[in-house]
Amino acid sequence: MGKLAFVFSGQGDQHPGMGKKLVKEYPAAAQVFSLCDRLRPGTAAQCFGGTEEELRETKNTQPCLFAFELAAARVLLDRGARPEALAGFSLGEVAAAAVAGLFDDETGFRLVCKRGQLMQREAEKEDTAMMAVVRLPAEEVEALCAGFPEVYPVNFNCPGQVTVSGLAQRMPAFSEAVKEAGGRTIPLKVKGAFHSPFMAEAAKEFAGELAGVTFQEPRVTLYSDLTAEPYAGDPAKLLSEQISGPVRWEKLVRGMIAAGVDTFVEIGPGSTLTNMIRKIDKGVKAQTYTDYLSEVCSC
């Protein structure tokens, strides 16, 4: 029998109302939001009733998504789900680390609040953007980026999809080059050039924040976006350098499959990772947490 993995989504799928139903129906979710509200008053209100624009602000997006994802994971665990591997896309890695027991929930939430603040601060220094490039192989996207100063390939998502970060003023010309090469670009709902050199200072300061954390051995195999492999070595290095380094998601997922994972459950408010995993390997099962909750957990 294959293994179950929880994968936690990153920025982009956030939306007003996320978590509201969970809190009404499941005490485990209410406990998580209560903790987050104690540490950052107004988190639940932002998740349940914040505007689209408010939730797009990185300083808000990251704590709100963390709260929602941790709540959803705690509900599934409370209902008997037992994942044997965990991973998260960008900020989702912090939620995955908390569920793995690398640090407790309170520490994870404090860290993600600081992470969001640092990344927003750096994003506000330059007019930058992110976009997904589809219908082109990763190697071709990398070659195109090399021709545009301050445009970087940053998230290697799945076959035929790579996310780039860069200066906003470079993006129209870059998009035209992608079109000429037979590809297409899709702007992302984020404000900043994440996972690129534009985030170097945020990564450095986050490393200082992590220096004060006492890490525990993960209770479940936890994968790193930076290496696409299970955690090994210094967790602070993996979590901080991830901010300015690429997310190697396709390689990570393939590694999980090679290790025996055949069922992936996306913990998040959308289906972005589910769709990516289905493109990486059609032979595995990938589904959202809501589908998994209704199918498997006898709720």
Q: What is the pLDDT of residues 102-129, one digit of tens each?
A: 999 999 999 999 999 999 999 999 999 9
Q: Rounded mean pLDDT of 27-38?
A: 98
User: In the CATH scheme, what is the code of domain 128-187?
Assistant: 3.30.70.250
Instruction: Please provide the size of the chain in residues.
Output: 299
Residue 201: predicted pLDDT: 98
Residues 6+ apart with CB under 8 A from 122: 192, 198, 199, 201, 202
Per residue in 275-296, pLDDT (tens digit) is: 999 999 999 999 999 999 988 7
Sheet bearing 161-167, strands edge to edge: 151-158, 161-167, 128-134, 184-187
Tokens of 259: 């290790």
- Indicate whether 274 pLDDT > 80: yes
pLDDT, average across residues 178-189: 94
Q: Is 189 a residue whose pLDDT tops 80?
A: no
pLDDT-based confidence at residue 70 (cuts at 50, 70, 90): very high
| Residue 297 pLDDT > 80 | no
Which among 23, 73, 108, 94 has a CA at the least distance from the CA of 266? 73
CA-to-CA distance for 221 and 85, rounded, in angstroms? 5
Annotated catalytic residue within 9, 90, 165, 244: 90
90 is catalytic: yes
Residue 138 contacts by C-beta under 8 Å, 6 or more apart in sequence? Answer: 153, 156, 162
- 3-123+196-296 fold: Malonyl-Coenzyme A Acyl Carrier Protein; domain 2 (3.40.366)
For 218, residues 6+ apart whose C-beta sits below 8 A from its C-beta are: 86, 97, 100, 101, 102, 231
Domain boundaries, the chain: 3-123+196-296, 128-187
With residue 162 as reference, give the H or E element that holds it.
strand 161-167
The residues with which 7 forms a beta bridge, in sequence order, are: 87, 266
pLDDT tens sequence across 234-271: 999 999 999 999 999 999 999 999 999 999 999 999 99
Q: What pLDDT does 299 receive?
A: 45
Share the mean pLDDT of the chain. 95
Average the pLDDT over 183-191 and give the result: 89
Q: How many helices (H) and strands (E) does the chain have?
A: 14, 9
User: What tens digit of pLDDT does each residue of 5-32 get?
Assistant: 999 999 988 999 999 999 999 999 999 9
Catalytic-labelled residue, pool 9, 165, 195, 240: 195
Q: Is 224 a catalytic residue?
A: no
